Amino acid sequence: MVLYIRHLLLLILLISQTIISQEKLNPSATKTLLVLDMSNPNNSPYANKIVRFIDENKNEFTSTTNSRGELKVLLPIGHKYFTMCGNLKNESLINIGSRGYSTFTSRRYSFRFTEFTLQFVNYQNKPVYGEEILTLLSSGEFTTKKTNQNGKVKFYLPIEESFEVRTKYNLIKKFEIPDEGYQSVAFDFRYRGQSTKEYEFKVKQNELAEIEYAKQNRIRDSIRKYNDSVRSTQPTVVIFFASDREFKHLGEISVYDGSEKGKLLGTVNSVWSCHSGPAVKDAEVKFERMKGNYSYYAISNQGYEWKGSYEVTGGGWKRVIIEIGKGKKDNLN
């Protein structure tokens, strides 16, 4: 604690001595007195900080601003200087002429900047408050700020040819503003889009909807499995019928269980032009089967044969279609 107070007192003493010494500065035959009012981009004083002046030969001179951002420094005549405020560079040159005993007064920013103002509104054209906006320079440096109640946020960015503006999830736009040597450039942009809160709310709603959908699917699967298990214990009414779009008739068709040596299940005489066939009560061949896989053999009195299989899952009814056009003559097999 004592060491900290000692360092603080030394810093105050150094600044005080610098200010006092600046008051005694006078121009000479070889040096010009430069008086500057140094400001931050938001026009607040660049107070109590060191400013470096560097000429074309990389000779360096320093001065410290007072609490109002003012400084005085003697610079050799006949040179041009740029300034460094910490790591911030102002490339706009200060041209010190060749005339001695001169005093030059001016105002200068700590760096050349783009005053970029963004207004963020949602799709209902209402200002978005508290949105975190990020500006990313081509140099890789970035700054984040939040929008005010009017949806606005202001950045003071070192002048570079390009920078990106982003929200947490989206790229708003990449801006390219050519450097034309100005001390400052003002640029306003209005953006209409979805806020981070709206996006995250939508994502959350989608997640909840997916959870609910999965839950309902599990319920439906459980009900279906239960119904299937119940249905599998119940007999199914199996219906055989003949079908042909042109009503082609090959005579009476006998249907056997399994093969030609199996049990006769019945005979079919009618031909239907569609695949829906007759109602259960009107079917010529109908019988009950429990859950399982079965085969059949059918033959018409004109010698045409059909062979096939069908699956019974239990309950309800099962329609088995004898396609007239697929019948084969016995002597061709």
On the question of pLDDT at 2 being above 60, the answer is no
For the record, the structure tokens of 115 come out as: 């005053």
Please report which confidence band the pLDDT of residue 4 belongs to, taking 50, 70 and 90 as the band edges. Answer: very low
Reduced to 3 states, what is the DSSP secondary structure of residue 203?
helix
Rounded to whole angstroms, the Cα distance separating 59 from 230 reads 96
Rounded to whole angstroms, the Cα distance separating 162 from 176 reads 4
Mean pLDDT of the region 68-97 = 95
Please report which confidence band the pLDDT of residue 160 belongs to, taking 50, 70 and 90 as the band edges. Answer: confident
Reduced to 3 states, what is the DSSP secondary structure of residue 272?
strand
Rounded to whole angstroms, the Cα distance separating 152 from 129 reads 8
Mean pLDDT of the region 219-227 = 86
Amino acid at 301: N
What is the pLDDT at residue 51?
Answer: 97
Average pLDDT, the chain: 89
What is the pLDDT at residue 114?
Answer: 92
More confident residue, 11 or 168: 168
Q: Worst-scoring range by mean pLDDT, 4-18, 84-98, 182-196?
A: 4-18
Rounded to whole angstroms, the Cα distance separating 96 from 82 reads 11
Tell me the backbone φ, ψ of residue 43, rounded to 5 degrees: 70, 10
What is the pLDDT at residue 253?
Answer: 95
Reduced to 3 states, what is the DSSP secondary structure of residue 245?
coil
Rounded to whole angstroms, the Cα distance separating 124 from 21 reads 60
Mean pLDDT of the region 119-141 = 94
CA distances from 20 to 61, 179, 319 (A): 18, 39, 109
Mean pLDDT of the region 112-140 = 94
Tell the burial category of 235 from Cβ atoms under 10 Å away from its Cβ (0-12, 13-18, 19+): middle
CATH number attached to the domain at 13-109: 2.60.40.1120
More confident residue, 299 or 22: 299
Rounded to whole angstroms, the Cα distance separating 175 from 160 reads 10
Rounded to whole angstroms, the Cα distance separating 233 from 160 reads 79
Please report which confidence band the pLDDT of residue 6 belongs to, taking 50, 70 and 90 as the band edges. Answer: low
Rounded to whole angstroms, the Cα distance separating 64 from 48 reads 6
Number of helices and strands (H, E) in the chain? 2, 23
CB atoms within 10 A of CB 211: 10
Q: What tens digit of pLDDT does each residue of 252-298 get?
A: 999 999 999 999 999 999 999 888 899 989 999 999 999 999 999 99
On the question of pLDDT at 20 being above 50, the answer is no
236-332 is classed in which CATH architecture?
Sandwich (2.60)
On the question of pLDDT at 3 being above 50, the answer is no
Tell me which of 1.25.40.10, 2.60.40.1120, 3.40.50.1100, 2.40.10.480 is the CATH number of domain 113-194: 2.60.40.1120
Maximum C-alpha span of the chain: 133
On the question of pLDDT at 8 being above 70, the answer is no
What is the pLDDT at residue 177?
Answer: 82
Please report which confidence band the pLDDT of residue 22 belongs to, taking 50, 70 and 90 as the band edges. Answer: low
What is the pLDDT at residue 15?
Answer: 45
Percent helix, strand and coil across the chain, each to the nearest 5: 20, 45, 35
The answer to whether 272 and 242 have CB atoms below 8 angstroms apart is yes
On the question of pLDDT at 67 being above 80, the answer is yes
For the record, the structure tokens of 251 come out as: 């005579």
